[in-house]
Amino acid sequence: MSDALPQLWAAARHVAQARVAVLEQALDDPSTARVAWEEANKLVGSLDSYGRTGGSSLARRASELLHDWPPNLEELRNVIADLRRLVDRP
């Protein structure tokens, strides 16, 4: 089982990166806001589960901002940038 753990962590990181990419897309294309909101909700539980402490609160804030469209774009950009740094960190 321990041999598979690094692969599982890598897969979880890849999924989180893809979800953050959907959030980034919503900044440029408001028609994707609903999908981005759903992805932000999925990120809430997944980030802390693979060791990205604090990620859930960032994802929750992104979800809140996307739910009340149009969001405060500056705050949303900052939250998404923080999420990107979090999921790209080795």
Q: In the numeric block, which tokens belong to residue 49?
A: 């589960």
Distance separating alpha carbons of residues 15 and 42, to the nearest angstrom: 10
Q: What is the pLDDT of residue 24?
A: 92
The fraction of the chain above a pLDDT of 70, given in percent, is 92
Distance separating alpha carbons of residues 33 and 65, to the nearest angstrom: 10
Total length of the chain: 90
pTM greater than 0.85: no
pLDDT grade, residue 48 (50/70/90)? low
Hey, what amino acid is at 69?
W
